[in-house]
Amino acid sequence: MARRIQVTHLMLSVFSHATEDLSKVKKAILSLVPSSLKDIVKFEELRTKGHYNNEIVVITVKFRKKQAQEILKHIICSLRDIDKKIMLATLDNRVDNRVSHFHLRLSKQDAYLGDIRLLDGDDIIKLSVTINGVIKLEDLRKYLNRLIEEC
């Protein structure tokens, strides 16, 4: 019997380099959040230095339970059909060993323009989802397919 999937946490994180406008990077993150939740977004900023002593701001936003579930569904539904297929086809590379953490890399530039797309490059917003307990990969695949069907 397939186990019921329960999303417990969702985190979006992104690097904002010294050459980037911090407000534009935050706008890119906000584009991943449904309008009903935009008012509750709290940006956490960590300032650090890069390899060449350039300033980098790591921006993170975190959500729990129902809000995490709502944002995940919004992102999944906003992906292009080809990205949904790629996500499902490469699902085993997007989870940890226990299938309790699921990751997507989303294009920061496209998000800023209001388009949610997968990207395997460097200029990304990282989506990390924590799932309650240990599940099977097939259960996660069925859950994601169900989200896609509900779009």
Q: What local confidence, expressed as pLDDT, does residue 55 receive? A: 93
Task: Give the chain's domain count.
Answer: 1
Return the closest-CA partner of residue 83 out of 99, 113, 104, 109: 104
> Which residues span the domain enclosing 101?
7-150
What is the CATH classification number for the domain harbouring 46?
3.30.1440.10
pLDDT digits (tens), the chain, 151 positions: 456 789 999 999 999 999 999 999 999 999 999 999 999 999 999 999 988 899 999 999 999 999 999 999 999 999 999 999 999 999 999 999 888 999 999 999 999 999 999 998 889 999 999 998 778 999 999 999 999 999 9
Cα dist from 119 to 32, 48, 97, 142, 145, whole Å: 14, 24, 22, 23, 20
Does the residue 1 lie in any domain? Answer: no
Q: Please tell me the distance from the alpha carbon of residue 139 to that of residue 99, in angstroms, as a whole number.
A: 9
Does the residue 125 lie in any domain? Answer: yes
